[in-house]
Structure 1
């Protein structure tokens, strides 16, 4: 697990290569095992493989969401805020599981924040994404994860660059 965490980096450039359905299914299966507060599991996933929809999602926030444009797969994390007051935390956990699973399968990914973000034209990104994906008004969108075969290389984290000074034992 530590090796996986040290090597996973945000990947924003992807090869023009389709992800086989069995790998997508593995990512989804792993995601569905995600823990959630009081086991409420308030999240739902919108798995996107259609190029035109990925392009629209890539434009939803401007340059900040552009990795979605060249990704063969996007997973949008949606949640029901009425199910639990922990929907943001639970959505963040499932997004992290998606990213770690993708990396374990040889894929790269990038977290694209949606909630409380504005597009270049000042429009609420969450509203943009809801319109593109026909998400009901009572749901919230936490983030989008772009996923694909990496077309860039990034150095792993190095132990000497980790912020151990941010760790406190017994007291702050």
Structure 2
């Protein structure tokens, strides 16, 4: 709700330790990083506790944020799906030139048999421009703002090896194709 009154550049968004000190929930490092990426990104945990694999994962997230910092801090922010009205949250940031965007989609609790037609409708794109989404497929802005991004099969994003299927995230990077 803070984003209703303040721009992303003014919000601290930090990855905390698990289990969470207030709820005792265990949320994946990926989801914690994906959520924190939409603000002034940082870590509130003991980096000395990381093993080599976790340290490399953190390094990748830091590099992702550095590559997208200008977009996140100065782009136009859109709330796409409210966690107060559904089991998911989604938001996006679009550059002033409308040549790139970053979309975050977050499933709060795992759903039994979620189906294959989940999607998120985007906003703020240039309807005439063609975008490459996650280096996987191409679509025009008008298509993404009317049909949306239809999610592939759930197992592509959700690991059956994780401790919980709750609190999952997806990040989509859009770049204009010139």
TM-score by length of 2: 0.28
Decide which structure has greater strand share: 2
Decide which structure has greater helix share: 1
TM-score by length of 1: 0.29
**With CA pairs under 8 Å and 6+ residues apart, which has the higher RCO, 1 or 2?**
1
